[in-house]
A = this chain, B = another copy of it.
């Protein structure tokens, strides 16, 4: 080993869900099966490309203002980043500086551990119960901050607002982050609590309900005090992160509320139908309120099923990790994509 290699940071690289370049039925990374709002195409066609030679607005004002309008908050209550991963990472760095451990569920979004390790934040996972629900009393203990997704991933389970509020109310001396990447498919957002609790941050994304995973746009909504702390940290080490096209496309997407609701409703309808179909095939499905379904079959090994699907160009997600060895996560595609998957499953199970 070269001398210089001893001071290089060595990590276990994360393996993201596969992004096959050829045409497959892609139900593995919770993308939206419907195209972005039609206005996005027009906005790119009409883009002032001379503007690209200049740095983007470091405050991302057009997008921040559009989000503030959409959610009826002030612009100083909005923070934007390069996908919610960037926003969440910045929140960890800014708000989780206690010596006490932060709390999050044992089965949840895998990056929470990664950012905690990266920023040397102590953490303690709280076990979901046997039905994969959050046990709110576990979050009453002293801690350095709390984060959980609602709906949770990869279970898809949604905690009602009362339960979310109970966790926030019991943790008013620390920051509580509710990661609502999938909330538009679920129910009431905790955003309505931001005036009531000054320790609350809501994080959402354009990647799921808004069909814009390819543009990398995430945001946090909170009170102006916490948003200022977040912006100060962000500006202190990287001023320009949102590129000009993401600002323009993000604004355009927010304009078309009707299209957004139409796509979300179609996905919810397909999800509910698909849950029934899975049950008819003997699957055990969690009652997902997200754009994916977490399911297992008592008679078929999840890994074998996952691989059989993949061989037939149907990509779903499988981890094989503790407590979820027998589960697959199936993103909700179009009705046609789901029908193709069911046709295969029926054929496979009749072999």
**A residues engaging B (CB < 8 A)?**
2-4, 7-17, 19, 21, 26, 29, 31-36, 40-41, 44-45, 47, 49-58, 82-83, 85-86, 89, 93-98, 111, 114-115, 118, 144-145, 172-175, 198-199, 207, 211-216, 229, 231-233, 235-246, 249
Contact = CB atoms under 8 A, between A and B. Distances in A.
A19 B62 CA distance: 14
A55 B214 CA distance: 4
B214 A243 contact: yes
List 9 A-B pairs, minimum CB-CB distance, nearest first: A214-B244, A52-B214, A3-B173, A245-B245, A53-B211, A7-B98, A11-B236, A13-B232, A16-B239
B26 A52 contact: no
Contacts of A243: 82, 214-216, 243, 245-246
Contacts of A213: 52-56, 240
A175 B5 CA distance: 9
B35 A50 contact: yes
Contacts of A97: 7-9
> What is the copy number of this chain in the assembly?
2
Nearest to A47: B44
B44 A40 contact: no
Contacts of A89: 237-238
Given A9-B94, A98-B7, A243-B214, A85 B238 contact: yes
A142 B167 CA distance: 52
Given A93-B9, A98-B7, A235-B14, A53 B26 contact: no
A97 to B, nearest CB: 4
Nearest to A59: B19
Given A35-B53, A245-B245, A236 B14 contact: yes
Given A4-B173, A235-B13, A53 B32 contact: yes
Given A174-B7, A237-B14, A212 B53 contact: yes
A35 B145 CA distance: 47
A57 B21 CA distance: 8
A334 to B, nearest CB: 11
A55 B19 contact: yes
A235 B13 CA distance: 6
A198 B56 contact: no
A215 B54 CA distance: 9
